[in-house]
Structure 1
Amino acid sequence: MAAIKCIGVLTSGGDAPGMNAAIRAVTRTAIYNGYSVKGIMRGYKGLVDDEIIDLQSDSVSNIIQQGG
């Protein structure tokens, strides 16, 4: 069985305190450990509508300063 080397980050789609920090930490930790990371935009609706983006260390570097 092949090892899974890609993870997706999916949130409820609404605002939540600390969520940006969590997304950044998950992304950076996964990349450090050799995984690719996909971000699913707009919660479950984004999953259904295929709104999936690649997340990189640089794409989440300033996420903590952004609201919502």
Structure 2
Amino acid sequence: MINKIGVLTSGGDAPGMNAAIRGVTRYAIQKGLTVEGIIRGYEGLLSHETRPLGRRDVGAIIHRGGTMLRTARCLEFKKKRNAEKSRCLFA
């Protein structure tokens, strides 16, 4: 059974990213899941840069631009061995 999820934002910023992070986080917590925010998108996934996300962390982010988790393009993630390596982060 799943008990933890990761949330990341990748590529460039777009309107509504913080609202999406907030919505996913709040819903997951309501369902009893632990939420980890992955910092800097796929780059953070490869380097295991995470932080726990709770209701307080996402409470006042919907009016801020950008994404609270930051984004980064990551050419290294396109290599199969690196994508496979990231699978174990939430195992």
Q: TM-score, normalised by structure 2?
A: 0.69
The number of residue pairs the alignment matches comes to 66
> Structure 1 regions of 5+ residues with no counterpart?
none
1:62, 1:13 → 2: CA distance? 23
Identity of aligned residues (%): 61
- Contact kept, 8 Å, 1:30 with 1:36, in 2: the verdict is yes
> Structure 2 regions of 5+ residues with no counterpart?
67-91
Does residue 18 of the first structure (1) align with residue 16 of the second (2)? yes
1:52 maps to which of 34, 50, 53: 50
Match of 2:7 in 1: 9
CA deviation vs aligned residue, 1:15-54 (integer Å, no higher than 9, x gap): 1111110100000000001000000011100111211000
Q: Which runs of 4+ in 1 moved over 4 A?
A: none
2:52, 2:11 → 1: CA distance? 17
Q: TM-score, normalised by structure 1?
A: 0.90
More strand by share: 1
More helix by share: 2
Question: Bigger radius of gyration, 1 or 2?
Answer: 2
The alignment's C-alpha RMSD in Å is: 1.0
